[in-house]
Amino acid sequence: MSESHPPLSNKPAELGDNRIYNAVVAFCIVLTVVTTVIFAHSLSAYFIVMKGGKAPGGSGDKASGESKEISLGDYGSQGDFFGGHFGPIIGSLTLLVVIYSGHVQLQSQNRFFREQQRKADEALFYQSFTQGLDLISQWDRTEAGCSQALRLVDYYARIACERKEPELYRLLNTVITGKMRNLLEGGGEEYFITNYPYAVVALEEIKKIRKETMDFKKEHKDILDAAKLKVKPRTKEGKTEK
């Protein structure tokens, strides 16, 4: 019989990288701010020119006090002006919204895949753990309380102690026989306790769980007693009476 320890990794895979997204969003924000500032300055210069004033870097006669008449052509130019400056801003905002929406969708997909991976890892872990317990039973059936079985108990007890999950202690308790328990609780030589420390500590945790079971039985004593009354007596041959 060969000893094998299935992989017991339960670390979820990390999915997604936000660095590129953050860089693109930062670029879009900067682009939007710069475009808005340029638009604001251009708009200010435009109204100065339309009123006959002197635009920055341009020429005009503000001292004359004459206001410029606005024609239909001017209104057309004004529309082109606003359209030309609003276009980049709206485009930048649209790009920002599209990138953010894509990011939200990506994050949602990543959460879904992470959850699926976590469930798959957890299922694999428990499958591997129970396979190890089956291996303990096989060795113990070969020779009750043998060193190989105790080494495996200590190995899986260490995993249970590290994860601190009551379910693992309950599973481990199903394969610890009376012979093993006696050796690990001081009924054998001292080296059993020295060589299998995790198994000894796990037994203490199992005792707490067994105490919880006893408390559960006391709490539901009436139901259990009623169920015992329904048990049919056995004959001298050990068969249940019909």
Confidence class for position 106, pLDDT limits 50, 70, 90: confident
pTM of the model: 0.55
pLDDT of residue 172: 94
pLDDT surpassing 70 at residue 63: no
Q: Residue 223 to residues 86, 211, 213, 218, 233: CA-CA distances in angstroms?
A: 78, 19, 15, 10, 19
- Across 59-63, 193-197, 208-212, 235-239, least confident range: 59-63
Give Dmax (Cα) for the chain.
130
Distances (CA, A) of 196 to 2, 134, 138, 151: 20, 19, 19, 7
Non-local CB neighbours of 233 within 8 Å, separated by 6+ positions: 240, 241
- Name the band, by pLDDT with cuts 50, 70 and 90, for residue 95: confident
Q: How confident is the model at residue 192 (pLDDT cuts 50, 70, 90)?
A: confident
What is the reported pLDDT for 151?
Answer: 94
Over residues 100-111, mean pLDDT: 84
